[in-house]
Copies of this chain bind each other. A is one copy, B any other.
Amino acid sequence: MDDSSDPRATRSRQAILSAARELLLDQGPAGVTHQRVAQQAGVGRATVYRHWPQAEQLLLDVMDLAGLPFFAEPRVPLRAWFRRRLRELADELAMPEVAAVALTLMQGAVWDEQIARQRDQFVRTLTERIAAGLALATRSGETGGETGGEGGSTTGSGTGSTPDPHDAAAMLVGPILYRTALQGGSVPDAFIDRLVDQVLP
Protein backbone atom coordinates (compact mmCIF):
# COMPACT_ATOMS: atom_id res chain seq x y z
CA MET A 1 0.00 0.00 0.00
CA ASP A 2 2.24 2.79 1.31
CA ASP A 3 5.36 0.81 0.59
CA SER A 4 5.45 1.60 -3.11
CA SER A 5 8.50 3.79 -2.61
CA ASP A 6 10.34 1.16 -0.57
CA PRO A 7 12.82 -0.54 -2.91
CA ARG A 8 12.67 -3.79 -0.93
CA ALA A 9 8.88 -3.92 -1.26
CA THR A 10 9.19 -3.17 -4.97
CA ARG A 11 11.66 -6.03 -5.34
CA SER A 12 9.45 -8.53 -3.57
CA ARG A 13 6.44 -7.35 -5.59
CA GLN A 14 8.35 -8.02 -8.79
CA ALA A 15 9.53 -11.41 -7.54
CA ILE A 16 5.95 -12.36 -6.63
CA LEU A 17 4.62 -11.28 -10.03
CA SER A 18 7.31 -13.27 -11.88
CA ALA A 19 6.68 -16.33 -9.71
CA ALA A 20 2.93 -16.10 -10.30
CA ARG A 21 3.51 -15.77 -14.04
CA GLU A 22 5.70 -18.89 -14.07
CA LEU A 23 3.15 -20.85 -12.05
CA LEU A 24 0.35 -19.75 -14.35
CA LEU A 25 2.34 -21.04 -17.31
CA ASP A 26 3.30 -24.36 -15.67
CA GLN A 27 0.14 -25.26 -13.85
CA GLY A 28 -2.67 -23.05 -15.05
CA PRO A 29 -4.68 -20.57 -12.96
CA ALA A 30 -5.30 -23.14 -10.21
CA GLY A 31 -1.55 -23.26 -9.56
CA VAL A 32 -1.40 -19.61 -8.52
CA THR A 33 -1.89 -20.00 -4.75
CA HIS A 34 -0.32 -17.89 -2.00
CA GLN A 35 1.72 -20.84 -0.80
CA ARG A 36 3.19 -21.84 -4.15
CA VAL A 37 3.84 -18.24 -5.18
CA ALA A 38 5.68 -17.59 -1.92
CA GLN A 39 7.80 -20.72 -2.36
CA GLN A 40 8.60 -19.97 -6.00
CA ALA A 41 9.41 -16.30 -5.29
CA GLY A 42 11.52 -17.11 -2.24
CA VAL A 43 9.53 -14.80 0.04
CA GLY A 44 7.37 -15.47 3.07
CA ARG A 45 3.72 -16.27 2.63
CA ALA A 46 2.81 -13.23 4.73
CA THR A 47 4.57 -11.03 2.19
CA VAL A 48 2.45 -12.41 -0.63
CA TYR A 49 -0.69 -11.88 1.48
CA ARG A 50 0.35 -8.32 2.30
CA HIS A 51 0.69 -7.37 -1.38
CA TRP A 52 -2.22 -9.47 -2.67
CA PRO A 53 -4.79 -10.50 -0.05
CA GLN A 54 -6.71 -12.33 -2.81
CA ALA A 55 -5.04 -14.83 -5.14
CA GLU A 56 -7.55 -13.85 -7.84
CA GLN A 57 -6.30 -10.28 -7.76
CA LEU A 58 -2.73 -11.48 -8.18
CA LEU A 59 -3.84 -13.55 -11.16
CA LEU A 60 -5.54 -10.48 -12.63
CA ASP A 61 -2.40 -8.40 -12.20
CA VAL A 62 -0.32 -11.09 -13.87
CA MET A 63 -2.79 -10.95 -16.72
CA ASP A 64 -2.44 -7.21 -17.16
CA LEU A 65 -2.13 -7.36 -20.93
CA ALA A 66 -3.44 -3.83 -21.29
CA GLY A 67 -0.06 -2.66 -20.05
CA LEU A 68 1.62 -4.19 -23.07
CA PRO A 69 2.53 -1.82 -25.90
CA PHE A 70 0.33 -3.43 -28.58
CA PHE A 71 -0.47 -0.99 -31.39
CA ALA A 72 0.86 2.03 -29.51
CA GLU A 73 2.03 5.24 -31.22
CA PRO A 74 0.96 5.11 -34.87
CA ARG A 75 3.42 6.45 -37.47
CA VAL A 76 3.41 6.98 -41.22
CA PRO A 77 3.59 4.98 -43.39
CA LEU A 78 0.70 3.20 -41.70
CA ARG A 79 0.93 0.06 -43.79
CA ALA A 80 4.42 -0.62 -42.45
CA TRP A 81 3.33 0.34 -38.94
CA PHE A 82 0.39 -2.08 -38.97
CA ARG A 83 2.70 -4.82 -40.26
CA ARG A 84 5.22 -4.25 -37.49
CA ARG A 85 2.55 -4.11 -34.78
CA LEU A 86 0.88 -7.32 -36.02
CA ARG A 87 4.29 -9.02 -36.23
CA GLU A 88 4.90 -8.09 -32.58
CA LEU A 89 1.46 -9.30 -31.51
CA ALA A 90 1.93 -12.59 -33.36
CA ASP A 91 5.37 -13.12 -31.82
CA GLU A 92 4.00 -12.36 -28.34
CA LEU A 93 1.02 -14.69 -28.72
CA ALA A 94 3.31 -17.43 -30.06
CA MET A 95 4.96 -17.48 -26.62
CA PRO A 96 3.18 -20.09 -24.47
CA GLU A 97 3.13 -17.78 -21.46
CA VAL A 98 1.37 -14.95 -23.27
CA ALA A 99 -1.07 -17.31 -25.01
CA ALA A 100 -1.89 -18.87 -21.64
CA VAL A 101 -2.59 -15.48 -20.11
CA ALA A 102 -4.71 -14.36 -23.07
CA LEU A 103 -6.79 -17.54 -23.02
CA THR A 104 -7.19 -17.40 -19.24
CA LEU A 105 -8.44 -13.85 -19.57
CA MET A 106 -10.88 -14.86 -22.33
CA GLN A 107 -12.19 -17.93 -20.55
CA GLY A 108 -12.18 -16.51 -17.03
CA ALA A 109 -14.26 -13.53 -18.19
CA VAL A 110 -17.20 -15.84 -18.89
CA TRP A 111 -17.66 -16.57 -15.18
CA ASP A 112 -15.87 -13.77 -13.37
CA GLU A 113 -17.09 -10.19 -13.53
CA GLN A 114 -13.79 -8.69 -12.51
CA ILE A 115 -11.94 -10.60 -15.21
CA ALA A 116 -14.65 -9.55 -17.68
CA ARG A 117 -13.96 -5.89 -16.83
CA GLN A 118 -10.25 -6.44 -17.43
CA ARG A 119 -10.95 -8.15 -20.75
CA ASP A 120 -13.24 -5.29 -21.80
CA GLN A 121 -10.59 -2.76 -20.87
CA PHE A 122 -7.99 -4.61 -22.95
CA VAL A 123 -10.31 -4.96 -25.94
CA ARG A 124 -11.25 -1.27 -25.73
CA THR A 125 -7.60 -0.21 -25.59
CA LEU A 126 -6.78 -2.27 -28.68
CA THR A 127 -9.72 -0.78 -30.61
CA GLU A 128 -8.77 2.78 -29.64
CA ARG A 129 -5.19 2.27 -30.75
CA ILE A 130 -6.22 0.70 -34.04
CA ALA A 131 -8.66 3.60 -34.51
CA ALA A 132 -5.80 6.04 -34.02
CA GLY A 133 -3.77 4.18 -36.65
CA LEU A 134 -6.64 4.17 -39.16
CA ALA A 135 -7.36 7.86 -38.55
CA LEU A 136 -3.74 8.75 -39.24
CA ALA A 137 -3.84 6.58 -42.39
CA THR A 138 -6.84 8.57 -43.62
CA ARG A 139 -5.21 11.92 -42.82
CA SER A 140 -2.01 10.91 -44.59
CA GLY A 141 -3.90 9.61 -47.63
CA GLU A 142 -3.00 5.96 -47.11
CA THR A 143 -6.53 4.57 -47.36
CA GLY A 144 -8.03 3.64 -50.71
CA GLY A 145 -6.59 3.98 -54.19
CA GLU A 146 -3.41 2.16 -53.27
CA THR A 147 -4.54 -1.34 -54.06
CA GLY A 148 -3.02 -2.16 -57.42
CA GLY A 149 -0.43 0.58 -57.63
CA GLU A 150 -2.14 2.19 -60.62
CA GLY A 151 -5.64 3.15 -61.68
CA GLY A 152 -7.05 3.76 -58.21
CA SER A 153 -10.62 3.13 -59.25
CA THR A 154 -12.56 1.94 -56.22
CA THR A 155 -11.96 4.61 -53.62
CA GLY A 156 -13.60 2.89 -50.76
CA SER A 157 -17.26 2.06 -50.87
CA GLY A 158 -18.80 -1.21 -49.81
CA THR A 159 -16.61 -4.08 -48.77
CA GLY A 160 -13.50 -2.73 -50.48
CA SER A 161 -13.36 0.23 -48.10
CA THR A 162 -11.54 0.61 -44.83
CA PRO A 163 -13.58 -1.05 -42.06
CA ASP A 164 -14.50 0.81 -38.89
CA PRO A 165 -12.04 0.32 -36.01
CA HIS A 166 -14.27 -2.20 -34.21
CA ASP A 167 -14.40 -4.42 -37.31
CA ALA A 168 -10.76 -3.75 -38.16
CA ALA A 169 -9.66 -4.94 -34.71
CA ALA A 170 -11.58 -8.22 -35.17
CA MET A 171 -10.17 -8.68 -38.70
CA LEU A 172 -6.58 -8.02 -37.61
CA VAL A 173 -6.36 -9.60 -34.16
CA GLY A 174 -8.92 -12.41 -34.61
CA PRO A 175 -6.95 -14.31 -37.27
CA ILE A 176 -3.68 -13.93 -35.33
CA LEU A 177 -5.38 -15.30 -32.22
CA TYR A 178 -6.92 -18.17 -34.18
CA ARG A 179 -3.57 -19.03 -35.75
CA THR A 180 -1.51 -18.91 -32.54
CA ALA A 181 -4.02 -20.24 -30.01
CA LEU A 182 -5.92 -22.78 -32.11
CA GLN A 183 -3.97 -23.78 -35.21
CA GLY A 184 -0.57 -23.55 -33.55
CA GLY A 185 2.58 -22.82 -35.45
CA SER A 186 4.12 -19.59 -36.62
CA VAL A 187 2.52 -16.62 -38.37
CA PRO A 188 4.30 -15.96 -41.70
CA ASP A 189 4.85 -12.37 -42.85
CA ALA A 190 2.75 -13.07 -45.97
CA PHE A 191 -0.24 -13.84 -43.76
CA ILE A 192 0.23 -10.56 -41.88
CA ASP A 193 0.42 -8.70 -45.22
CA ARG A 194 -2.91 -10.21 -46.20
CA LEU A 195 -4.52 -8.98 -43.00
CA VAL A 196 -3.14 -5.46 -43.43
CA ASP A 197 -4.37 -5.37 -47.04
CA GLN A 198 -7.91 -6.00 -45.80
CA VAL A 199 -7.82 -3.07 -43.46
CA LEU A 200 -5.92 -0.64 -45.68
CA PRO A 201 -7.23 -1.64 -49.12
- Chain A residues proximal to chain B, CB less than 8 Å: 27-28, 96, 99-100, 103-104, 106-107, 110-111, 119-120, 123, 127, 147-148, 153-154, 159-160, 163, 166-167, 169-171, 173-179, 181-184, 190-191, 193-195, 197-198
Interface contact A123-B174, CB-CB below 8 Å: no
Alpha-carbon distance between A16 and B29 when the two chains are bound, in angstroms? 27
Q: How many copies of the shown chain assemble into the complex?
A: 2
User: Residue A174 contacts which of B120, B154, B176 (CB distance < 8 angstroms)?
Assistant: B176
Q: Lowest 4 CB-CB distances: which A-B pairs, in order?
A: A174-B178, A174-B174, A174-B175, A107-B107
Interface contact A183-B163, CB-CB below 8 Å: no
Interface contact A194-B27, CB-CB below 8 Å: no
Say how far A65's CB is from chain B's closest CB, in angstroms.
Answer: 11
Say how far A123's CB is from chain B's closest CB, in angstroms.
Answer: 5
- Residues of chain B lying within 8 A (CB to CB) of residue A103: 103, 106-107, 110
- Residues of chain B lying within 8 A (CB to CB) of residue A178: 169-170, 173-174, 177
Alpha-carbon distance between A120 and B119 when the two chains are bound, in angstroms? 25
Say how far A63's CB is from chain B's closest CB, in angstroms.
Answer: 12
User: Residue A163 contacts which of B147, B182, B194 (CB distance < 8 angstroms)?
Assistant: B194
Say how far A122's CB is from chain B's closest CB, in angstroms.
Answer: 8
- Residues of chain B lying within 8 A (CB to CB) of residue A177: 174, 177-178
Q: Pick 20 A–B contacts, CB within 8 A, sort by A.
A: A28-B111, A96-B110, A99-B110, A103-B107, A123-B182, A123-B183, A127-B183, A148-B154, A159-B193, A159-B197, A163-B194, A167-B191, A169-B178, A170-B179, A171-B171, A171-B175, A174-B175, A174-B176, A174-B177, A194-B198
| A100, A106, A110, A171 pick with most chain B CB within 10 angstroms | A110
User: Residue A170 contacts which of B107, B175, B190, B197 (CB distance < 8 angstroms)?
Assistant: B175
| Given A28-B110, A148-B154, A159-B190; 8 other pairs, CB 8 A cutoff | A103-B103, A106-B106, A107-B107, A120-B184, A166-B183, A170-B178, A170-B191, A194-B198
